[in-house]
Structure 1
């Protein structure tokens, strides 16, 4: 009876969260933590946890497509994981081979146009895993409706280091000038194919750290981060939707901050010739609390009076506003 009641409550909570969500992040990255602890808590071994976690991965892929996410990156095996017991890694490699081939042949993957890609130092992996990666990538290469990145033998710092070394080598060889090094030059050397900026990082298992995961694409993009306590095999749709809600709150906070900065600039200058600041306010005015919208209306009234020469307006010396609009 208690289980039945819990299922009813969970279903109702999922429906509530679904109604609260107005938009989805484009790229979600997940640190799938807690598989081994989940297994130990049930008297099993690491392999039992990894297999249970693989089932969660399949569900998350469906949830992403349901809400409109376009790219999902899964932190599946880090470079540090090579230090785990060899017998544990061998069983995990066997599971990876099984699931990669299963995904590559699944009807739902082909029906939904899912492109499967591996990112990381895949050359360090056993041959059977590399062959399964190549099979999955080849089978889904032409799809572009959804991208599933599997981070294997992955380390964020090592990827940045390799990219920097590649640029340095090309500069030393005269293939590129130092002043030609830009964001695109680095990104082109990080992965074989483009990876979108990360909007939301989800980490399960209770730890509150991002563990060197996609540092270039996440931190630079100021990604929202959602930490939750369930182990990966226990991760539910309600947890997933709470993560999406965290992203929406982060995005709304960013919009509100932009609007407030632009509003403060307009209030300080009372200058109608600040087009970029006014543009920001106009775009994000709905993010402002009602009281602050009243402040905006007052400023707009003063500007209107200045333009028509009516009382109440005060002249302000013209300034060059280039480059000084709110960030």
Structure 2
């Protein structure tokens, strides 16, 4: 009984400490848009002698945890790399396990979308969805529609996605738009293409921070257009299922330090 009391007391103290810390962090400069490359699910599973699909399932638990932290910090847009087009090259069993997990989580959003509704989060499934089987395309559309009226924050679930495909599609759409217009074709500008980049078309603000877990230092064809200018790239050693507030704090503090060191007039222009 005493051990249970001590455990509950320590849990309460930890929760209060985290709440105070989040309030302090939220009072400083806060990024508007954070992207995550959720890397390390498979290695996490192997480290714990689990099947690969168990690592991916733990990764979705971590996503819910991190999304709640972001909302409490008033970060208004989160983009996560849910499924790369390159993932279709993995073993058929792993691909099927991943697709089944994605469908399960999308259906959970439709049935138990408490976190998204609580924080007013609109879900955008971003990528070449025609590559998904029909059952998953239908689940994506249903999940998006269920949150369409939410307007306080955005969750971009990028799948199946690569930046090359996104940029290629944006160029195609820009050219087609020019061809369909009544005016002369004219010059295609960077702004024309930028308007057709999927995250921008979905109403996302510029990408402030891009985080990759697991210690691997590469971008893996993710948000390359969005991250080519002022984005802070951050790498952290832990696997994605382990990622939480204490991993996020140094990243946020580094962002705030750089924001505070930027002259006020420069921040106003950004």
Indicate yes or no: 2:238 matched with 1:230: yes
Indicate if the aligned counterparts of 2:78 and 2:155 stay in contact, CA closer than 8 A. Answer: yes
Residues 1:92 and 1:29: Cα distance change in structure 2 (over 3 Å): same
What RMSD over aligned residues (CA atoms) do the two structures have, in Å? 3.0
- The number of residues matched between the two structures is 258
Question: Offset of 1:197 from its aligned partner?
Answer: 1.0
Residues 1:170 and 1:136: Cα distance change in structure 2 (over 3 Å): closer
Identify which of 78, 95, 99 aligns with 2:105. Answer: 99
Cα offsets for 1:124-178 (capped at 9, x unmatched):
0112211111110110111111111100010101211222233334546665656
Indicate if the aligned counterparts of 1:28 and 1:202 stay in contact, CA closer than 8 A. Answer: yes
Indicate if the aligned counterparts of 1:225 and 1:246 stay in contact, CA closer than 8 A. Answer: no
Is there any run of 5+ residues in structure 1 with no aligned partner, and where? 260-279, 285-325
Give the match's secondary structure for 1:217: coil
Identify which of 30, 41, 58 aligns with 2:47. Answer: 41
Is there any run of 5+ residues in structure 2 with no aligned partner, and where? none
Give the match's secondary structure for 1:209: coil
Identify which of 118, 124, 127 aligns with 1:120. Answer: 127
CA distance in 2, matches of 1:59, 1:67: 13
Map of 2:202 onto structure 1: 193
Map of 1:86 onto structure 2: 92
Question: Offset of 1:111 from its aligned partner?
Answer: 2.5
Question: Which has more radius of gyration?
Answer: 1
CA distance in 1, matches of 2:183, 2:209: 34
Residues 1:177 and 1:215: Cα distance change in structure 2 (over 3 Å): farther
CA distance in 1, matches of 2:46, 2:143: 31
Deviates more, 1:43-52 or 1:164-173: 164-173
Indicate if the aligned counterparts of 1:17 and 1:241 stay in contact, CA closer than 8 A. Answer: no
Cα offsets for 1:160-202 (capped at 9, x unmatched):
1222233334546665656553344213322252332101111
| TM norm structure 1 | 0.70
| TM norm structure 2 | 0.84
Identify which of 58, 61, 73 aligns with 2:79. Answer: 73
